[in-house]
């Protein structure tokens, strides 16, 4: 594995892959010894099928982490199973908060009504961190066009203290995502047709109106914009864009 700090390693990797397209970045990253053990984290949301399909073509045995918050839409749970089967993904790992964590933090299932950050933390961030600790790098679907701190996103970025993030779609436009889905005849999340452009937990997600930002339906009516699974220096990032 490369020597130097995480930032130094990210710089070297970005230079190494700077002229590659998304699929090649993904293909090579999954086999690059300088990245170590790599996993894909997927919400099986509105656009998730793009990276899932790429992984299924390149390396279908890649570990895929799916966070079941136990508050997801039934449509998302059904979609996860259908996509996993269709793409023949062989190592999808469903991760959740433990029963003791639920009993301690949200025994009556109402925490989201008065503390969404705390709810996201124990249902998403803590279980994910527990699993990610087993890997050296993880693949995300983050893209520059999503704005905020993602405007200057590169293929590789440091996630202190010890991991790298891989963003194969960093330079894609929104139209590229839709074109890829159409060209590969990929199944759409059923809630997209009902006006849901960004899909999270059922209590905190709503359809959007024509002309609204695609992520306006997440935590509508609150200042919250990020679920907290993306880190800088070990702390949740809230750049004004949903995860």
DSSP letter at 6? H
Take residue 74 and report the two structure tokens written for it: 């039934």
Distance CA 155, CA 13 (A): 8
Residue 227 appears among annotated catalytic residues: yes
State phi, psi for 40 to the nearest 5 degrees. -105, 130
Q: Supply the DSSP string of 162-204, one letter for each residue.
A: TEEEE-TTTT--HHHHHHHHHHTTPPPPTTGGGT-SS--BGGG
- Asked if residues 157 and 10 have their Cβ atoms less than 8 Å apart, the reply is yes
Asked if 66 and 92 count as a contact pair (C-beta separation under 8 A), the reply is yes
Question: CA 202: distance to chain centroid?
Answer: 17
Backbone torsion region of residue 25, taken as left when φ is above 0, otherwise alpha when ψ lies between -120 and 50, otherwise beta = alpha
User: Which residues face 163 on adjacent strands?
Assistant: 159
Q: List the one residue out of 214, 227, 21, 222 whose CA is nearest residue 113.
A: 222
In angstroms, the CA 51 to CA 67 distance is 16
Q: Is residue 26 a contact partner of residue 62, using CB atoms and an 8 Å limit? A: no
Q: Tokens in use for 135?
A: 């890997």
Catalytic residue among 119, 201, 204, 227: 227
Which residues are tagged catalytic?
A: 227
């Amino acid at each position: 594995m490369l020597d130097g700090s995480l930032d130094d390693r990210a710089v070297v990797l970005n230079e190494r892959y700077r002229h590659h397209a998304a699929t090649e970045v993904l293909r090579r990253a999954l086999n690059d010894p300088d990245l170590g053990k790599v996993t894909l984290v997927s919400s099986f949301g509105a656009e998730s099928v793009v990276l899932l399909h790429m992984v299924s073509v390149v390396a279908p045995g890649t570990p895929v982490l799916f966070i079941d918050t136990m508050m997801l839409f039934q449509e998302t749970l059904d979609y996860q199973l259908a996509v996993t089967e269709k793409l023949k993904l062989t190592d999808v790992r469903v991760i959740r908060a433990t029963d003791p964590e639920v009993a301690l933090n949200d025994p009556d299932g109402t925490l989201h009504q008065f503390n969404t950050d705390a709810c996201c933390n124990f249902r998403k961030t803590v279980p994910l961190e527990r699993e990610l600790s087993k890997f050296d790098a993880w693949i995300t679907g983050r893209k520059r066009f999503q704005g905020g701190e993602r405007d200057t996103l590169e293929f590789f970025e440091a996630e202190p203290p010890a991991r790298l993030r891989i963003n194969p779609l960093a330079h894609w436009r929104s139209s590229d995502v839709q074109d890829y889905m159409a060209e590969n005849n990929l199944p759409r999340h059923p809630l997209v047709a009902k006006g849901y452009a960004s899909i999270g937990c059922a209590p905190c997600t709503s359809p959007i109106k024509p002309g609204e930002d695609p992520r306006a339906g997440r935590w509508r009516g609150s200042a919250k914009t990020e679920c907290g699974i993306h880190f800088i220096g070990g702390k949740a990032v809230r750049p004004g864009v949903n995860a």
